[in-house]
Structure 1
Amino acid sequence: MGAKIPRKVVAFETWQKGITIPAGYSVFVHYKDGLWNINPGKHGPNKYGPEGGPVKAEKSEYPMTGQSEGCLIGRVLYSENVKSNGHFVMEFPQLEDDDDNTRSTLFAIDRDGILIPKTDYPKVLQLRCNDIDSGIYDNEGELHLELEIW
């Protein structure tokens, strides 16, 4: 069993401060509790967990199309700036968002959680609500997670 780190993800922010996953470590993202309200003009007072609302995000402005609007999403970032033994290695600590030299893998996280497998290079995990950046300001609530790293 590894380290367990609590993490809060708020509904009204875009990609939130990342957590570094060192080379050789896996992380399991566990949903613990919490609900959020996304797009109250459309959904009213309804609150949702990590699965999001009943509407699919179809517009290209959503970070992750094809998933539920308001679902919990994550991305694993790595940099193409540095290679070590043929693998990409993260440049630390300033990386917080995509740029020309950064790549990411996007995924949805439901109530069962998700396993991010170990790699032989470090990476950064970031989390957010699946909502359009320009419309995220009216969201409310937060989800509480636990990141288990081993």
Structure 2
Amino acid sequence: MRYLLDTNIAIFMILGEEDEFSPEVRNILSDFSNTLYISALSVVEIGFLFKRKKIMTQYKSLDALVKSLKEQFYLNILHSSESHLQQYLRLEIAPNHSDQIDQFIVPQAIADQVPHFNSNPQFQAYIPQKLNFVFNRR
């Protein structure tokens, strides 16, 4: 099965914080028959945090960190498409959900019909808009 990870899930992976994963998410991540995706916007967000030293990792460069996403964690980078943009234009933003990157990752998951997992319960508000949401209850 295909899954779209949220930025926070990828950061937990990078930092080796497996204890932050619910049993369901841990099972998804460890099942090698699953195909895992990360939005290109999540990669940008991780890069921003890395460059600002908001996350401290074992990686010496952003290039090495991004390479690890693909080669160590087996994440496929999901680039934006026309269908993502069209879904974004139709998306009704959940009240009090101000994260602009989230507001584009949600339409990516909806447009591609890919379950999205995240630790933020606000994403449940997008289920009526056809988001298949897996909550990482920590």
**Common fold by TM > 0.5:** no
TM-score scaled by length of structure 1: 0.26
Give the number of the structure with larger relative contact order, counting CA–CA contacts within 8 Å between residues 6 or more apart.
Answer: 1
Q: Which has the larger radius of gyration?
A: 1
Higher strand share: 1
